Structure 1
Amino acid sequence: MMNYSNTILESNLRVNPAGIKDKVHVFAPATVANMICGFDILGFAVDYPGDEVIMYRVENPGVRIRSIVGDEGRLPLDADKNTVSACVKMLLIDLGMEKEIGVEIELIKHMPIGSGLGSSSASTVAGLFAINELLGRPLTKAELMPYCVEGERLACGHGHADNVAPALMGGITLIRGHEPLDIIKLPVPEELYAGIVFPKVDVPTRDARKLIKEKVLLKDAVTQWGNIAGLMAGLYEADYSLISRSMKDVLIEPTRAILIPEFYEMRRIAEEVGVLSFGISGSGPSVVAISRGKEGAEQVVERIQEHLTNCDIESFKYVSAVNLNGPRVV
């Protein structure tokens, strides 16, 4: 992990023993990474689904996991191997409190692992937000962010922030750079809605990343730059027509779509309904339809789910406005 000692030293002075709580219950939201045209640099949070962490302060120092629910037994209970507990432990060590504070964690998963909805990032953000609340909020969200990024590195081998940034900060975020980490919150047009469908097929993030080409044609790169810039302008101006024209991916989607059954038929349905844009959420297999207003998003997910059912593919659907606040205490 990068050296954030100066930030943590300043934060350590704000730890007030009197502010330490005995228990906290936190929800952190799912996210749509990439926002179609912004691979690894854009993402937004949704209201549901998400993950929950219940954290207890206990007498014996150290970090332990009491239980994990909803993971079908896939996540480790070993506190050093689970990203939630490992990041909490890392933060306590940097604060110099690992021998003073004992915590036990209950993790409640509400979305499938490998869904393309930021499952690991929601859990990590919930855990770090919870320990910060338990300690009386010694750190700002900006100071928590490097630990969230480290959680992504532990989870999938790549320390990117396109999921954890919107999950922690809320809204739509732009990751301008990683060294140093530079995250910018973008405006959210109030009528922007997401209709998400998760086809129950397995597309691991690591495998999806392996398919991405290391080199692209200059003309495709220029097209993508124009789309990203157009999306930025559209968000600032609340120009839904510009947002629609800009949310197109010519670099990543053509490759990743191969892994998602019925992708192009789902796109055809979305275009028929008339949403602003349609594409892959994160590394997939979840897909997202961006609409102006809730009604279009609801229509798309209903029709796509019906189509998938006819193809004998089980799926889950979600409709949400952009979550503006990120994690919250339940």
Structure 2
Amino acid sequence: MDKQKVTAFAPATVANVSCGFDILGFAIEDLGDKVSVALSDKPGVRVVKIEGDNGKLPYESEKNTCSVAVKAMVEDLGFEGGLEIELYKGLPLGSGMGSSAASAVAALVATNTLLGNPYEKKDLLPFGIESERIACGAGHADNISPSLLGGFVLIREYQPLDVIPLHVPRGLYCTLIHPHLELNTSDSRSVLRRNVTLQDATTQSGNIAGLVAGLFQEDMALISRSLNDVIAEPSRSILIPGYDEVKVGIVPAGALGCGISGSGPTLFVLSPTEEIAWEVSRLSQQVFDKLQLPIDLYVSAINTRGAYIVEEEI
């Protein structure tokens, strides 16, 4: 008997990873969104239920990232039946943890399974990118790709799309620090410089190459030296209270480096061990306690699984 409803989970992500603006990202364990997609007798793609968003997300199919991604997929497939989408948000909105991407990816993976897996997992990427245009005005893939595929990914080129999985070093951990602020991606992109100097472009290129090499060589010192962004973070960091204090404060603990997760306000810190990642968590809490700003803290290994099916109903 054919499946009637499928539920999928897609993880949170860290995009940019300091120097890799719009081209690097990695996935987080356990934190993410769930989406259920069911067959319907009524043609078309509809969002019928949203939980966990405090009433902020749209139900209109042309505005919700889940339905935008699914519509792009079924149009490409030529499917003319009906689909109903239920979204269960586990990620805060405007957090810089790939919230819109996780929703879209979970919807795509659920729909693909529901319809008999007409696409390979990686072939769902273009449909997810279309949903990101709705969310933030730019069709970037540095959240969509790691949420779907897991691990570290490099987006070498967008036209045509060329996504490359990278090596994940043993022992690498991430601490996420989410201040209770909402920072829209479109606003965060608006503060960026439109032109960069040749010197900054050269420095950034060296750091990207160094970070990729450090991942493959499992060279923690090289990863640490390369976690430096001279293009986006200097402009964006002024929007995030506690950024400078955390960046300085985590160095004595042995952390590799700190940066802005996506467009913020969440900060990420990479550490060579789980023990150091938890110490980073403690030190970060102290910083924000002094600022009297509530935060959420997460410590996670790098998620190499990506999105997956939670449940199938007949």
Instruction: Give the TM-score of the pair, scaled to structure 1.
Output: 0.91
Paired residue secondary structure (2:181): coil
Work out the CA distance in 2 between the residues paired with 1:202 and 1:97: 37
In the other structure, the counterpart of 1:246 is 226
| Corresponding residue number in structure 2 for 1:8 | none
- After superposition, the C-alpha distances for 1:98-147 in whole angstroms (9 at most, x for unaligned) are 2xx22211101111111011000000000011100111111012221100
Task: Give the one of 42, 48, 55 matched to 2:24.
Answer: 42
* In 2: Cα distance, 1:211 partner to 1:266 partner: 22
User: 3-state DSSP class of the match of 1:326?
Assistant: coil
Alignment partner, residue 60 of structure 1: 42
Unaligned runs of 5+ in 2: none
Correspondent of 2:292 among 312, 315, 329: 312
Q: Which deviates the most, 121-130 or 301-310?
A: 301-310
Name the residue aligned to 1:281. Answer: 261
Within 5 A, what are the aligned runs for 1:207-286? 207-286=187-266
- 8 Å CA contact 2:23–2:142 kept in 1: the answer is yes
- Partner of 2:182: helix, strand, or coil? coil
Aligned mates of 1:78, 1:234 — CA distance in 2? 44
Task: Kindly state the Cα deviation for residue 253 of structure 1 after the two structures are TM-superposed.
Answer: 1.0
Q: Distance in 1 between matches of 2:186 and 2:55?
A: 20
Please state how far the C-alpha of 1:241 moved relative to its aligned partner. 1.1
Aligned AA for 1:125? V
Aligned mates of 1:270, 1:48 — CA distance in 2:
24
Which residue does 1:13 correspond to in 2?
none
Residue 202 of structure 1: how far off its partner (Å): 2.3
Write out aligned runs for 1:199-210 (5 A). Answer: 199-210=179-190
Unaligned runs of 5+ in 1: 1-17
Secondary structure in 2 matching 1:194: strand
Q: Does 1:81 align with 2:96?
A: no
1:178 partnered with 2:166: no
CA distance in 1, matches of 2:45, 2:107: 11
Per-residue displacement from partner, 1:264-283 (whole Å, max 9, x unpaired)? 11112211212011111111
**Is contact 2:26-2:153 (8 Å) kept?**
yes
Q: Which residue does 2:136 correspond to in 1?
A: 156
Q: Residue 135 in 1 paired to residue 141 in 2?
A: no
**1:182-206 CA deviation, whole Å, 9 max, x = no partner?**
1100111021110000001122111
Aligned positions of 1:189-208 closer than 5 A: 189-208=169-188
Measured after TM superposition, the shift of residue 180 of structure 1 is: 0.4
Letter of the 1:95 partner, please give it. L
- Separation in 2 of the partners of 1:148 and 1:329? 17
**Distance apart, 1:97 and its partner CA:** 1.2
Counterpart of 2:126, as a letter, is P
CA distance in 2, matches of 1:61, 1:217: 52
What's the CA shift for 1:307? 2.4
Distance apart, 1:215 and its partner CA: 1.4
Alpha-carbon separation, structure 1, partners of 2:178 and 2:221: 26
Deviation of the 1:153 alpha carbon: 0.8
Partner of 1:326: 306
Q: Deviations over 1:141-183 (max 9, x none)?
A: 2221100110101111100101101111111000011000011
Say whether residues 1:114 and 2:91 are aligned partners: no
Aligned AA (2:44):
G
Q: 2:51 aligns with which of 58, 69, 79?
A: 69
Letter in 1 for 2:217: E
User: Normalised by the size of structure 2, how large is the TM-score?
Assistant: 0.96
Q: Which is further off, 284-293 or 48-57?
A: 48-57
Q: CA deviation at 1:90?
A: 2.3
State the distance in 2 between where 1:232 and 1:52 align. 31
Q: What corresponds to 2:73 in structure 1? A: 91
Query: What displacement does 1:48 show?
Result: 3.0
4+ runs deviating over 6 angstroms = none
Aligned-pair CA distance for 1:302: 2.2
Once residues 193 and 308 of structure 1 are traced to their aligned partners in structure 2, the CA distance between those partners, rounded to angstroms, is 21
> Counterpart of 2:4?
22
Q: 2:274 pairs with 282, 294, 308, which one?
A: 294
* C-alpha displacement of 1:326: 0.7
CA positional deviation for 1:93: 2.0
Aligned pairs, number: 310
